[in-house]
Amino acid sequence: MKKIYSFIIALCFINTLKAQTATFNITYNGFTTQAQTAYQYAADIWANTVVSSVPIKVTAHLQLLPAGTLGITFPNGIKNFAGAPMTDRWYATSLANSIAGTELNVGVPDVEMFLNSTVNWYCGTSGTVPAGQYDLATIVLHELCHGLGFLSLAKDSSGIGSFGMLRSADFYNLVQAFPWPNLDTLPSVFDEFLVSGTNQQLDSFPNPSTTLSPKLKSNSVYFNGANAMAANGGVKPRIYAPASFTLGSSITHLNEATYPAGNVNELMTPNGNPAYALHNPGPICIGILKDIGWTINPSLGVNEFSSVNNQLEVYPNPSNDILYIATSIPKDKIKSILVKNILGETLMDLGKTFSNDISTLTKGIYFITVNSFDSQINQKFVKN
């Protein structure tokens, strides 16, 4: 059985040889030690991905939520701050603080997350999830992405579509630690990039209006950001916009039919699956974050999947079962060839083998590390 993510206002390409480029300060309520470990694991992925000199403050609750809900995330928001790239657009405060280089919301969280305590959570980080359990690290990784600003302020009620008319009461009357802002019928910076199938910008329609409503339910909404398109082969990524609008799912996720289970971009789709882990949000996600204003760890990039190191090449990339390795380093000078995950943990020791079966790896992003007697070189690859 699938369960639906629920969100509001609110991979990863991780080179763990680099220092973290952001800090997450997390306050836990109701979490076991094991659950905190899984949560921190997901936060560490983002801490190696986005760049911020201002710590990102998160308050996390593990408590009773409505049946069928895995989690609900409320990122704090701010508009028209000094240095804002766009005026009259809402930014997640974590992003605004990063852009401004200073804390604009002293004393209150940037992200408040509620996770359902009735869910059978898997709190390990191995990526192998027992039947009937949901991978906590996967869900937290998804939710934190919304907290970073992967969000829409779209709403549809009785045939009237709008941006910036959301209320706290729309989300089970959960109480946040920061005041709910007056959204002033203004869209988020994420909404600025949403276009229809005919390339009409959605926030150009009358707001609120009956004209906007069918656009939000057209099954034909796309993200028109340059970096997201570059990560998607030059094509505008498709947004989840089903004929029946679901608040917290519609418009604020990638389209599940376009990026189904097993696709490298699947994590930011609206549904979670039991017995499944995905700890890499995918290149489209990182492109969207760049488009809305995030600086990404300079050692990472959305176009690196097919890049060729002049000393090391891995192919095919992405790969399904067999991965071939080519290097200019003489074989007698190679000490080891390792497969590592995005946290730098060694998963496979390939010895000095250049043709390898990787079918046992779960889908995601990995690194080949070639160690010689006087150097180390790395190359990313994707396991489909």
Range(s) of the domain holding residue 192: 3-292
pLDDT of residue 13: 33
Beta bridge partners of 72: 114
Indicate if 317 and 239 belong to the same structural domain. Answer: no
Domain count, the chain: 2
Indicate if 134 and 204 belong to the same structural domain. Answer: yes
Where a domain ends, among 292, 321, 339? 292
pLDDT of residue 300: 61
Indicate if 338 and 211 belong to the same structural domain. Answer: no
Residue 306 lies in a domain: no
Q: What is the pTM of this model?
A: 0.79
Indicate if 277 and 349 belong to the same structural domain. Answer: no
Residue 57 lies in a domain: yes
Query: How far apart are the C-alpha atoms of 284 and 266, rounded to whole Å?
Result: 10
pLDDT of residue 17: 34
Taking only the tens place, the pLDDT of each residue in 234-270 is 999 999 999 999 999 999 999 999 998 878 789 999 9
pLDDT of residue 299: 66
pLDDT of residue 364: 84
pLDDT of residue 123: 97
Residue 147 lies in a domain: yes
Alpha helices in 160-217, H assignment, sequence order: 212-216
Indicate if 222 and 367 belong to the same structural domain. Answer: no
Indicate if 322 and 284 belong to the same structural domain. Answer: no
Residue 298 lies in a domain: no
Indicate if 179 and 239 belong to the same structural domain. Answer: yes
Indicate if 230 and 356 belong to the same structural domain. Answer: no
Indicate if 199 and 326 belong to the same structural domain. Answer: no
- In eight-state DSSP terms, residue 209 is B
Where a domain ends, among 292, 322, 351? 292
Positions in the chain short of pLDDT 50: 1-2, 4, 6-18, 301-310
Where a domain ends, among 246, 264, 292? 292
DSSP codes of every residue in 122-160: E--SSS---TT-EEHHHHHHHHHHHHTT----EEEETTE
Indicate if 165 and 231 belong to the same structural domain. Answer: yes
Query: How far apart are the C-alpha atoms of 352 and 349, rounded to whole Å?
Result: 9
* Residue 39 · residue 136 · CB < 8 Å: yes
